[in-house]
Amino acid sequence: MLSEVLLVSAPGKVILHGEHAVVHGKVALAVALNLRTFLRLQPHSSGKVDLSLPNIGIKRSWDVARLQLLDTSFLEQGDVTAPTPEQVEKLKEVAGLPDDCAVTKRLAVLTFLYLYLSIFRKQRWTKEDLELINKWAFQGERVIHGNPSGVDNAVSTWGGALRYQQGKIASLKRPPALQILLTNTRVPRSTKALVAGVRNRLLKFPEIVAPLLTSIDAISLECERVLGEMGEAPALEQYHVLEELIDMNQHHLNALGVGHASLDQLCQVTRAHGLHSKLTGAGGGGCGITLLKPGLEQPEVEATKQALTSCGFDCWETSVGAPGVSVHSATSLESRVRQALDGL
């Protein structure tokens, strides 16, 4: 029954500015999206732990008794810790996935098992403890990405808009409710490989790449300043500044080697409609964001979305600044969300 279920959600996120530069100590600005991932936790008496991730086609089950008998001493290293390569290899044995399992599915299952065995073994998790949620989410990111910046887990935990630099997080005060298009090019990429590629390019061409990272940092700071001035009554000129910053940052990211033909196509399509776009996240495919100016007629927005969809992309219209990880009652959810959860 849905009434017996603990329902938790966390927002998606995009990085406005600071991709890759944040890994090298620069500022990143990240915002939570009003596009949420829902988690349903439901106790039952089958003696099994069931994992269902319908968006990527995962449905797995493990005997609780078998998991409890496992030698999980390899996870006992004090407080929240980073998974080691040896731990990941042992988790692969526990997962029991076939050799031809897709990388995305394998990483999702390994992340779940690592967090399940670590958190429930320690009996320390509570939904109110956002700091602990953020720490564990970061470790899940490490299973997937290797050396993440910490931005993704932080903004999904805390929500709103955040300034992130070298592990220090600060909320942006009263950021404007920007409307954006989030577009998924559906081109798969490896964040770990892209981050490593930027690092290698920095080592190979330090006098060229270091100034690029410094310039991206300056773009992030200028965007932070403009957002702070916009408040509740933004001026059109301020949107023009944001558009210029978007264009400059996209060119910088291309120079770092994290662009992709699909992202170039995304920018060209939206530019034809008078809009400005950039990649968000690791690049190399993946997703891009497009700023929607106030006063833009809805038919023009729909025409842009249709043009992007015609390219084979997925596109969503949404806003930024969503609340962070949240607990819901069943009655508070939209009917489409309840129906989707009932179908798991």
Show the CA angle centred on residue 10, arms to residues 198 and 312, nearest 5°: 60
Which of 267 and 125 is assigned the larger pLDDT? 267
Residue among 296, 256, 255, 306 at smallest CA distance from 276: 296
Q: Is the pLDDT of residue 127 over 50?
A: no
Residue 119 pLDDT grade (very low, low, confident, very high; cuts 50, 70, 90) = low
Mean pLDDT check: name the lowest of 104-108, 120-124, 305-309.
120-124
Six token digits for residue 323: 């609340």
Residue among 11, 5, 12, 1 at smallest CA distance from 40: 5
- Could you say which of 3.30.230.10, 3.40.309.10, 1.10.20.140, 2.60.40.420 is the CATH number of the domain covering 6-174+329-343? 3.30.230.10
Annotated catalytic sites, by residue? 152
Which sequence spans correspond to the domains of the chain? Answer: 6-174+329-343, 178-320
Share above pLDDT 90 across residues of the chain, in percent, rounded to a whole number: 46
Give the side-chain half-sphere CA count within 13 A for 181: 31
Residue 33 pLDDT grade (very low, low, confident, very high; cuts 50, 70, 90) = very high
Contact 255, 212 (CB under 8 A): yes
Contact 26, 213 (CB under 8 A): yes
Contact 344, 17 (CB under 8 A): no
Q: What is the 8-class DSSP label of residue 321?
A: -
Residue among 39, 213, 229 at smallest CA distance from 133: 39
Give pLDDT, residue 253: 98
Look up the pTM and report it: 0.74
Q: Could you give the 3-state DSSP secondary structure of residue 238? A: helix
CATH number of 178-320: 3.30.70.890
Show the CA angle centred on residue 252, arms to residues 246 and 253, nearest 5°: 90
Residue among 93, 100, 124, 97 at smallest CA distance from 108: 97
Residue 181 pLDDT grade (very low, low, confident, very high; cuts 50, 70, 90) = very high
Six token digits for residue 258: 């994290």
Six token digits for residue 210: 């270091």
Q: Is the pLDDT of residue 120 over 70?
A: no
Give pLDDT, residue 267: 98
